[in-house]
Amino acid sequence: MNKIRSVEFKNEQLHIINQTKLPLVEEVIITDDLERIAVAIERLEVRGAPAIGVAAAYALSLSLKNIPFQLRTEVFEKAFQRMAATRPTAVNLFFALNEMKNVFEQFKNEKDLYEKLSAKAVALHQEDIMLCGGIAQQGVKIFTKRSKVLTHCNTGSLATGGDGTALNVIRKAFESGLIEHVYVDETRPLLQGSRLTAWELNKLGIPFSINTDSASAFLMQQNKVDLVIVGADRIALNGDTANKIGTYNLAVLCHFHKIPFYIAAPSTTIDKNCSSGAQIKIELRDKNELISINGKLITNEDYSAYCPAFDVTPNELITAIVTEKDLFKPPFDLKHV
């Protein structure tokens, strides 16, 4: 089976799997326009912290394709600010943007600046592929037996530049004979679990079933969950972790039911400037994502709605954080990871 790649750079254009159309339609957006890529990130046509970072890196390089020398700085600065405004919570976005800015500052007077930026974007993409592989290698260590696993949101190839984070751990464990079944939270309001994770697990041939987010406690009560593993969009130095809304619920449930709760993410998701979860800015989404599905209203459009994209799980509820470097257990002190 061909590798799933959420984003690919081919013939100086970015190819993006339109995740808002999955699983019913497999559509690829092909563009070299920075604004189109920015909109794709905002619309969640491409989503997942690592994938956003990779897409943003390519967008910055493409912003300087065929730009006159005297306009380089103005164009790049505007492009940088546009991409930085797309999603505030995922730290990988800002890591990638700053890496690209460093290259720009170093080579902005060079004739081959565009080529240098493109090469850096490709390198960041390749690095993410390697990080995903490392996470899977480290993550399989959490399994001590053939297990029933529950996961939330989407953390596979669609969420990264490579093969995924938490879902890649599940894939590796399945290949090692350590997965009996995967329970997939549908992940309201945008259904990344039932649309995206289910689509990936189906392609991988891993046994799974979809459940409502609110069914997770009942599954645990019936002893149908051996462990929970999810991804992360930002990890503070003390281990507090921002992830898709509903993750905190799972951590609390795991604590009550004495079930291990794991985070899997690349080390680039650790924000070295963030000491605790109290400093993490939580993105609020448009209420239409909650009151409608595919543009069809499911409740009264006049109702007010609260629609945070993420929540923060306190470090004391996390059994371990899996990165490509190691398995980190509490008490967390991630300054030197």
pLDDT (tens digit, 9 = 90+) per residue, 218-243?
Answer: 999 999 999 999 999 999 999 999 99
Measured CA distances, 83 to 28, 65, 78, 248, 332 (Å) = 21, 16, 9, 28, 31
Residue 114 clears pLDDT 60, i.e. is over it: yes
Residue 1 clears pLDDT 80, i.e. is over it: no
Neighbours of 160 (CB within 10 A): 34
Burial of 299 (0-12, 13-18, 19+ CB in 10 A): exposed
Please report which confidence band the pLDDT of residue 3 belongs to, taking 50, 70 and 90 as the band edges: confident
Report whether 323 contacts 267 (CB < 8 A): yes
Residue 312 clears pLDDT 80, i.e. is over it: yes
Q: Which pLDDT belongs to residue 151?
A: 98
Q: Which pLDDT belongs to residue 66?
A: 92
Q: Which pLDDT belongs to residue 2?
A: 65
Whole-angstrom distance, CA of residue 281 vs CA of residue 245: 13
Average pLDDT of the chain?
A: 96
Where along the chain do its domains lie?
7-133, 138-328
Identical fold for domains 7-133 and 138-328, yes or no, is no
DSSP alpha helices (H): ranges in 179-282?
A: 192, 198-204, 216-221, 247-257
DSSP bridge pairs for 204: none
pLDDT tens string 272-303:
999 999 999 999 999 999 999 988 999 999 99
- Average pLDDT on 167-174 reads 98
The number of residues making up the chain comes to 337
Catalytic residues: 233
Q: Which pLDDT belongs to residue 117?
A: 98
Q: What is the 3-state secondary structure (H, E, C) of 121-185?
A: HHHHHHHHHHHHHHHHHHHHHHCCCCEEEEECCCCCHHHCCCCCCHHHHHHHHHHCCCEEEEEEE
CATH 1.20.120.420 corresponds to the domain 7-133: yes
Name residue, tokens 């989503």: 47
Rounded to a whole number of angstroms, the CA Rg of the chain reads 20
User: Is the bond preceding residue 331 a cis peptide, omega within 30 degrees?
Assistant: yes
Looking at the structure, give the CATH architecture of the domain made up of residues 138-328.
Answer: 3-Layer(aba) Sandwich (3.40)
